[in-house]
């Protein structure tokens, strides 16, 4: 058992599935639970997808909890059509996996997170790769966890590049800018793995063909998943030669921060209508010597991809 413990907060689509695989394959951390979120899919569908992926990878001991089903300022969530196009109607590239034997946990994801912080403290790493609603709710309920948790590395935001929803906003942050702003302006120390670095970290059919050649259940399923993702990128992001490793890069950076170069900033998230979801430096706090957000601005993509492929290929050989 590793000393480091990890919780993933996922809206389980295709790159979220890759993040689960990376966390399971990494030798220096134990994945102790997954919290479901909304975004790529509806919250319960994402939770079931996470259970299916865990079962595919032989990790039926990892519990999955459901988090919030919509943003702080709404009473429901409507899935965007583009999410279904990129991730498939079922969220996992139209790959059909068996219904999981394990059930979703009855405890709320927010309470699970708070309890885990109390139990593991600085040894706990949280990697949110969807909206930050669950984390904002946890901070509202137990504000002290902001300084008790060891590591929060999120996939979201864009500082030096345009967003992927509009010129300002990245999709995860845009789902709930109010929650993101509560997190970014809290005392919690964060690492932001945004589009600045994830769009430079790409997977191609060269890699998926290696998984397909393993002739294992998980290798074939993940090759199918990612090939679907690549096809969606060819339609929606033709300038990108492959598919971006958004969520698994955040897991990689959480375990090895040297994969990216960061800029320390005090930040906020715009909740104004014109720039909703923009992640930007806070002018009111620019002169403060202490910063609470490390923003990824460059990435050692080759070294990361080598590690990614070593981890996942080794895992797929076994399942």
User: Out of 45, 196, 246, 247, which one is annotated catalytic?
Assistant: 246
| Angle ∠(210,48,82) on CA atoms, nearest 5 | 70
C-alpha 197/C-alpha 300 separation (Å) is 9
pLDDT in tens, 214-246: 999 999 999 999 999 898 888 877 777 888 899
pLDDT for res 85 = 81
Number of structural domains found in the chain:
1
Q: What is the number of alpha carbons within 13 Å of residue 1 lying toward its C-beta?
A: 5
pLDDT for res 239 = 79
Q: What is the number of alpha carbons within 13 Å of residue 248 lying toward its C-beta?
A: 30
Q: What is the DSSP string of 25-49?
A: H-TT-EEEEEEE-SSSS-HHHHHHH
User: Out of 9, 11, 196, 227, which one is annotated catalytic?
Assistant: 11
pLDDT for res 90 = 87
Q: Which residues pair with 172 in a beta bridge?
A: none
| Angle ∠(55,131,138) on CA atoms, nearest 5 | 90
Domain interval for residue 289 = 4-317
pLDDT for res 93 = 83
C-alpha 65/C-alpha 50 separation (Å) is 10
Query: What is the CATH number for 11?
Result: 3.90.245.10
pLDDT for res 87 = 85
And the tokens for 100?
A: 């999981």
DSSP 185: T
Single pTM value for the model? 0.95
Active site residue 16: no
Grouped pLDDT means (10 residues each) for the chain, 319 residues: 92 93 96 96 94 96 96 88 79 89 97 97 97 98 97 96 92 96 96 96 93 95 93 81 92 97 96 94 88 96 96 94
Active site residue 87: no
pLDDT for res 86 = 80
């Amino acid at each position: 058992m590793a000393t480091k413990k990890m919780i993933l907060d996922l809206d389980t689509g295709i790159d979220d599935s890759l993040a689960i695989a990376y966390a399971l394959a990494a030798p220096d951390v134990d994945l102790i639970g997954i919290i479901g979120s909304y975004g790529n899919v509806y919250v319960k569908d994402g939770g079931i997808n996470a259970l299916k992926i865990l079962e595919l990878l032989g990790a039926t001991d990892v519990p999955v909890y459901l988090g919030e089903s919509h943003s702080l300022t709404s009473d429901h969530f409507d899935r965007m059509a583009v999410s279904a196009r990129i991730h498939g109607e079922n969220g996992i590239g139209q790959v059909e996996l068996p219904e999981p034997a394990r059930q979703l946990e009855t405890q709320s994801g927010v309470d699970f997170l708070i309890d885990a912080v109390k139990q593991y403290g600085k040894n706990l790493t949280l990697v949110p790769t969807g909206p930050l609603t669950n984390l904002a709710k946890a901070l509202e309920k137990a504000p002290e966890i902001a300084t008790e948790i060891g590591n929060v590395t999120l996939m979201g935001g864009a500082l030096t590049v345009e967003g992927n929803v509009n010129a300002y906003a990245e999709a995860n942050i845009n789902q709930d800018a109010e929650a993101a702003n509560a997190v970014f302006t809290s005392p919690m120390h964060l690492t932001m793995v945004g589009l600045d670095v994830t769009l430079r970290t790409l997977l191609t059919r060269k890699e998926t063909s290696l998984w397909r050649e393993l002739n294992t259940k998980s290798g074939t399923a993940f090759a199918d998943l990612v090939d679907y993702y690549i096809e969606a990128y060819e339609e929606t992001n033709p300038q990108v030669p492959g598919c971006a490793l958004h969520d698994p890069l955040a897991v990689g950076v959480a375990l090895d921060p040297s994969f990216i170069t960061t800029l320390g900033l005090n930040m906020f998230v715009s909740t104004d209508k014109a720039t909703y979801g923009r992640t930007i430096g806070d002018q009111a706090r620019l002169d403060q010597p202490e910063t609470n957000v490390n923003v990824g601005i460059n990435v050692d993509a080759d070294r990361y991809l080598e590690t990614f492929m070593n981890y996942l290929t080794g895992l797929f050989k076994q399942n």
